[in-house]
Amino acid sequence: MPQIIVVIAKVEAKQDQLELVKSEALKLIEPTRKEPGCIEYNLQQDSENPEVFIFVERWESKELLSAHLESKHLQHFVKATENSVVSLTINEMFPVA
């Protein structure tokens, strides 16, 4: 049985690129939620540091997450924001309790 994968992805936008990064991040929501294996895909913005966006994701399996990472819409986001992001951190986890 495949193991559910939880992903926390933190994107920090350059201060002068905040709106561009936010706009591009919002474009990911609808198509990603329609992908096979997507259980949850939500975007948060830090209340004290608005340049920080956090994606909270749950996937049915590592294989389906891998397919998401190769999707056209995610590749578009990466290209559209490549000069607008200070940092990107991705943590993949599995539920314990």
Question: 37 is written with which tokens?
Answer: 């294996």
Please give the pLDDT value at position 1.
Answer: 66
Contact 11, 85 (CB under 8 A): yes
What does the alpha-carbon distance between residue 92 and residue 24 come to, in Å, rounded to a whole number?
22
Full set of structural domains in the chain with CATH: 5-44+61-91 (3.30.70.100)
Per-residue pLDDT tens digits of the chain, which is 97 residues long? 679 999 999 999 999 999 999 999 999 999 999 999 999 999 999 999 999 999 999 999 999 999 999 999 999 999 999 999 999 999 999 989 8
Residue 85: which H helix or E strand, with range?
Answer: strand 85-93
Residue 25: which H helix or E strand, with range?
Answer: helix 18-33
Model pTM? 0.93
- Facing residues of 7 across strands? 57, 92
